[in-house]
Amino acid sequence: MAARASFTLVLMSAITSCVLAGHLELLESLPPEIQSLYSSGLGNWTPPEHLQKNYPYYLSGFDEDEHPIWILEFGKWDLRVIVEQGKDAMVEFEKYINLFILNIYNSTITKEEVLPLILIIDLDGYDLHQITSPPTLGYVVQNLRRVVVALKNLHAAYCINTNFVAQRFLNLVKPLLGKEFEKFEIYGNNPAKWKSRILKIIPSDQLPSCIFGSGVRCTSKNC
C-alpha cells in the first residue's frame, strides 16, 4: 500500500486516462462535473509553487481495502488572500480546486471500478480572519460546495482539529453544502478522540506524522 501511494499524481493521471480511454462506460458512470474535467486538459497543468505550498492537499496512502486516503490541510488555506488579490487569482485558484478534484478521482479509478475514498480535512489553524470577510466566506462556500458535491463516492470523511472558529464556520456553511456533507464526522481539537476513531479503520503507516504523531510517516511538504 505504501508503495502504491508513492506514485506521482502525474503518472496516476496518465494511467487513469488510458484506463478511461478503453472503458467508456466507466467514464460515463462518473458525475457530470467530473466527466468535464477529463476533457479539459487540466491533467497537464502544473500549479504555481505558491499554491502548492500555501494550500496543501495530498494523497497520504490507502487503507486495507485500497481506498485512497486524502488529506486536505484546510486550516492553512488563507482564501482571503486569494479574494483580495482579485479576479485573476480567484480564477487560477478555481483551476487549482478542479485539479484537486481530478487528482482525487484519478486515485480512485481502477480497470474495473471507481473505488470509494477517504477524506480527512484538518482544520488546525483556521482563524477568524477567514470568516469576517463576506466576499471571502462566499468564495469559500462556492469552492467547498464544488468539492463536496463532486465527492459522491466517499467511503468516510472526517473534519479534525475543529476549533471554535472552525466549528462556527461549519455551522454557517453546512446548510449550503447539501446532503453529501452529512457523511462527515466532525471532531474537535482533542487528538485523543479523533485519533482512536480514525486509526481503527486506517493503518497508521498510511497517515502523516505531522498530524498523527511520531511513528507515522509524513508526506506533506509542510511538515
pLDDT digits (tens, 9 = 90+) for 156-170: 999 999 999 999 988
At 14 the pLDDT is 46
Q: What is the pLDDT of residue 218?
A: 56
- Judge whether 71 and 57 are in contact, CB under 8 Å: yes
Which of 1 and 223 is assigned the larger pLDDT? 223
**Residues in CB range of 79: below 8 A, 6 or more apart:** 93, 130, 136, 139, 140, 143
pLDDT value of residue 18:
46
Q: What is the pLDDT of residue 99?
A: 92
Query: What is the predicted pLDDT for the residue at 35?
Result: 78
pLDDT tens for 85-116 read 999 999 999 999 999 988 888 888 777 777 89
The single residue listed with the C-alpha cell 484538518 is 122
Alpha helices in the chain (DSSP H): 2-5, 9-21, 24-28, 32-38, 49-54, 79-85, 87-108, 134-150, 164-173, 191-199, 209-212
Checking if the pLDDT of 60 tops 80, the result is: yes
What would the CATH number be for the domain defined by 2-212? 3.40.525.10
Q: In what order do the strands lie in the sheet with 57-62?
A: 57-62, 68-72, 117-122, 154-160, 184-186
HSE of 153 in the Cβ direction (CA atoms, 13 Å)?
A: 20
pLDDT of the residue at 217: 57
Q: With pLDDT > 90 as the criterion, what percentage of the chain qualifies? A: 43
Each domain of the chain, given as residue ranges in start order, spans 2-212
Q: Is 61 left (phi over 0), alpha (psi -120 to 50) or beta?
A: left
Q: For residue 13, which of 98, 134, 77, 103 has the smallest C-alpha distance?
A: 103
